[in-house]
A = this chain, B = another copy of it.
Amino acid sequence: MTDYTVTFDLADEPVQVPKGTTLAEAAQMAGVEINQPCGGQGRCGRCAVKVESGDVRRRSTLRLSANDVAQGYALACQTVVEGDVSLTVPPQEQIKRRLTTDHRETEVTLPPGYDPETAQSLRRLNLTITPPSMEDQTDDWSRLQAALRQEIGVERLRADLDVIRKMGPVLREGEWQVALILNSADWRGSASVPRLVDIKPGHVPEDDPLWGIAVDIGTTTVTTWLVDLNTGEVAATAAEYNKQISRGDDVISRIIYASKEEGDQKLQELVVETINELIGRLCERSGAQKEEIYKVTLAGNSTMMHLFLDIPASSIRLTPFVTAINHIPLLSAGEVGLDTHGEAVLDCLPGVASYVGADISAGVLSSGMDDSEQVTLFLDVGTNGETVLGSKEWLVTCACSAGPAFEGSGVLHGMRATLGAIDDVWINSQTYEPTWNVIGKRPPKGLCGSALISLLAEMFMTGVVNKNGSVNTTLDTERVRRGEHGGEYVVVWAEKSAAGEDIVITDVDIDNLVRTKAAIYAGFTVLSDSVGVPLETAERVLVGGAFGKYINVEKAIQIGLLPDMDWDKFQFLGNTSIRGAHRALIDMEARERIKDIADRMTYLELSADNRFYDAFTSAMFLPHTDLSRFPSVEEALDRMSA
């Protein structure tokens, strides 16, 4: 048998191999490392290489598109040598990005043609004022307004008492040179009266940062972005669990806690504390001063918004489920105790209904679906599981109480997608041994949302759990066992984990995850049924939510979280709420659009809908009681068992 020459771009020398050798074997011989998370089973697509020249035979092209194959891509584990071959090994990141959605929260694209000077509500202005004299004894406030009128044509000005109090001394300290921080809902017209947020002695260099923060108060996670309003760009980000978690996992238990004596104040304190700690972190990371944060734009679901402002939320929980207020007036950050400049503009974005809040209005903006001809399904896979269906023409929305499992809460070793979190897991279907990836390449601490999805899918596809979601503890591996919480699967042995203890997933964890995915799936199916728009006709599925950086569509479909649609239709947007809040923070037009979105969305109340209960019950299996809804999963299961 003739040996063929295989040349790798990464290898020092070519290797000689017999015909029929897999490219993966050849790579090993050549000393080139190719990742095979699925253990060479042709499932994960991570071993893709590019055939630059020569003959190969692809036994399987699963995960490769026709276009990929046309470009020469082949799966190293499923492709055999049939002549002299020359290969290049693409960087891992490149492969990953092709297969999943690599979504870095901080990669923010500003709107096309964005001009910070005209777009945003906050302005800093250096002003030189003629000092008073015995000939002109005009009061300071009128003098300031006259100077401003001359400078930018603004007729009048508003200010809170605290700013009026400091004005006189600041004018004199700055020797009649001052920097003003102004906010206006509309800088074009003269109808709107700007508010003087702060006045500082002396002039400030034009390029000194002008700080604002965007905040998303999630039921489980609070996310903050520090933004330089001079450019609109994000200077630092920080996220942390909402400290309110200690008083209840979901919005319902929070509302109940709030109705206890001083419970509302406690919850307000806790979330303000969370935000303030994050503000501290943002400032540390960027060198910003808290006192120099002049605007806060805040998104969150309706319960979070009410609790944050200490507005009674009990009507949200009780039939007929109404909020106290959806469109909240502009406030000052000091009123609620935020660690920013006390007079900072606090803009709480508008929500739609009790269970579809400002996070969704902001999310829809950030998704762009409100401005698109395409019928789009938008899912926010957070604790509340909101769904929006629609287009430029119409928007309908609903929410299901999904629970916090995919944010890592209510799962024994769940965690947020931070350094040390496993964010992807593969299981070898023969050995049941897992392969995982850790954010920041270090001993793992736990499992973030994307890992939970891939882990659950892998366990299901490899038979480690059955369709009811129970771990099969009879398998011939030490990885499965009975523990405190029923059956469990060990993902990481103690000696490899950061904390020195086994990282496991238990029957109880799985039950939580299945309930969550079932609620989300039931939500959008009932929504699409209600408006008579079959899911299949949706042209795009946009998924928001704080899973972590990578989401695997296939895996999400395999567990029945997402509908079984063409992968190309899916797009993962990460935390759309914070993105929307960021846009509203830097752009008055975007803020106005969020208001319009909130007004336009038709809300469907699921809590009183029997169809929802039925759909939820049917979805309490992996992937679903009705496997015909998931043809690609059925096919994959067939392939696995073949």
User: What is the chain B residue whose CB lies nearest that of A608?
Assistant: B134
In the complex, what residues of B have CB within 8 A of residue A159's CB? 329
A137 in contact with B603 (CB, 8 Å): yes
A320–B133 alpha-carbon span in the complex (Å): 5
In the complex, what residues of B have CB within 8 A of residue A137's CB? 320-322, 353-354, 603, 605
B311 in contact with A168 (CB, 8 Å): yes
User: What is the chain B residue whose CB lies nearest that of A140?
Assistant: B324
B312 in contact with A168 (CB, 8 Å): yes
- A325 sits at the interface (CB 8 A): yes
A161 in contact with B315 (CB, 8 Å): no
In the complex, what residues of B have CB within 8 A of residue A139's CB? 322-326, 353
Q: Min CB distance, A245 to chain B, in Å?
A: 24
A134 in contact with B319 (CB, 8 Å): yes
- A335 sits at the interface (CB 8 A): yes
A311–B161 alpha-carbon span in the complex (Å): 8
User: What is the chain B residue whose CB lies nearest that of A309?
Assistant: B161
Number of interface residues of A (CB under 8 A): 45
A331–B143 alpha-carbon span in the complex (Å): 21
- A57 sits at the interface (CB 8 A): no
Contact pick for A311, options B133, B165, B320, B608, CB 8 Å: B165
Contact pick for A327, options B142, B314, B331, B608, CB 8 Å: B142
In the complex, what residues of B have CB within 8 A of residue A511's CB? none
Q: Min CB distance, A508 to chain B, in Å?
A: 34
0/1 interface trace, chain A 147-164, chain B, CB 8 Å (1 if under): 000000000001101001
B164 in contact with A324 (CB, 8 Å): yes
- A141 sits at the interface (CB 8 A): yes
In the complex, what residues of B have CB within 8 A of residue A54's CB? none
- A483 sits at the interface (CB 8 A): no
In the complex, what residues of B have CB within 8 A of residue A172's CB? 315
User: What is the chain B residue whose CB lies nearest that of A323?
Assistant: B139
- A310 sits at the interface (CB 8 A): yes
- Contact A141-B315, Cβ < 8 Å, known A134-B605, A134-B608, A605-B134: no
Which residues of chain A in 137-196 are interfacial with respect to chain B, using CB atoms and an 8 Å cutoff? Answer: 137-143, 158-159, 161, 164-165, 167-169, 172
Q: Min CB distance, A332 to chain B, in Å?
A: 9
B138 in contact with A322 (CB, 8 Å): yes
In the complex, what residues of B have CB within 8 A of residue A331's CB? 161
- A486 sits at the interface (CB 8 A): no
- A132 sits at the interface (CB 8 A): yes
A336–B162 alpha-carbon span in the complex (Å): 11
User: What is the chain B residue whose CB lies nearest that of A351?
Assistant: B139
A320–B158 alpha-carbon span in the complex (Å): 25
A134 in contact with B320 (CB, 8 Å): yes
Q: Min CB distance, A393 to chain B, in Å?
A: 23
A125–B492 alpha-carbon span in the complex (Å): 67
User: What is the chain B residue whose CB lies nearest that of A335?
Assistant: B161
A310–B165 alpha-carbon span in the complex (Å): 7
A296–B528 alpha-carbon span in the complex (Å): 56
Contact pick for A169, options B143, B312, B328, CB 8 Å: B312
In the complex, what residues of B have CB within 8 A of residue A141's CB? 324-327
In the complex, what residues of B have CB within 8 A of residue A325's CB? 139-142, 164, 167
In the complex, what residues of B have CB within 8 A of residue A322's CB? 132, 137-140, 143
Which residues of chain A in 370-422 are interfacial with respect to chain B, using CB atoms and an 8 Å cutoff? Answer: none
A167–B329 alpha-carbon span in the complex (Å): 14
In the complex, what residues of B have CB within 8 A of residue A329's CB? 158-159, 164
Q: Min CB distance, A588 to chain B, in Å?
A: 19
A335–B139 alpha-carbon span in the complex (Å): 23
Q: Min CB distance, A147 to chain B, in Å?
A: 14
A335–B164 alpha-carbon span in the complex (Å): 13
Q: Min CB distance, A609 to chain B, in Å?
A: 10
0/1 interface trace, chain A 73-87, chain B, CB 8 Å (1 if under): 000000000000000
In the complex, what residues of B have CB within 8 A of residue A158's CB? 329
A601–B211 alpha-carbon span in the complex (Å): 43
A169–B311 alpha-carbon span in the complex (Å): 10
0/1 interface trace, chain A 108-150, chain B, CB 8 Å (1 if under): 0000000000000000000000001110111111110000000
A314–B172 alpha-carbon span in the complex (Å): 11
User: What is the chain B residue whose CB lies nearest that of A355?
Assistant: B137
Most buried by B among A138, A168, A172, A353: A168
Which residues of chain A in 327-344 are interfacial with respect to chain B, using CB atoms and an 8 Å cutoff? Answer: 327-329, 331, 335-336
- Contact A324-B167, Cβ < 8 Å, known A140-B315, A161-B335, A309-B161: yes
User: What is the chain B residue whose CB lies nearest that of A143?
Assistant: B322
A136–B354 alpha-carbon span in the complex (Å): 12
In the complex, what residues of B have CB within 8 A of residue A321's CB? 134, 137
B133 in contact with A315 (CB, 8 Å): no
In the complex, what residues of B have CB within 8 A of residue A138's CB? 322
Most buried by B among A311, A321, A328: A311
User: What is the chain B residue whose CB lies nearest that of A158?
Assistant: B329
A137–B356 alpha-carbon span in the complex (Å): 12
Query: Which 8 A-B residue pairs are closest in the complex by CB-CB distance?
Result: A141-B325, A168-B324, A139-B323, A139-B326, A132-B322, A134-B320, A140-B324, A168-B312
Extra contacts, 9 of them, besides A134-B605, A137-B321, A165-B312 (Cβ < 8 A), are A138-B322, A139-B323, A139-B353, A140-B322, A141-B325, A141-B326, A158-B329, A159-B329, A165-B310
What is the interface of chain A, defined by CB distance below 8 A to chain B?
132-134, 136-143, 158-159, 161, 164-165, 167-169, 172, 309-312, 314-315, 319-329, 331, 335-336, 353-354, 603, 605, 608
17 A-B pairs (CB sep. < 8 Å): A137-B322, A139-B322, A139-B325, A140-B323, A141-B324, A141-B326, A142-B327, A161-B331, A161-B335, A161-B336, A164-B325, A164-B328, A165-B312, A167-B324, A168-B311, A168-B314, A168-B315
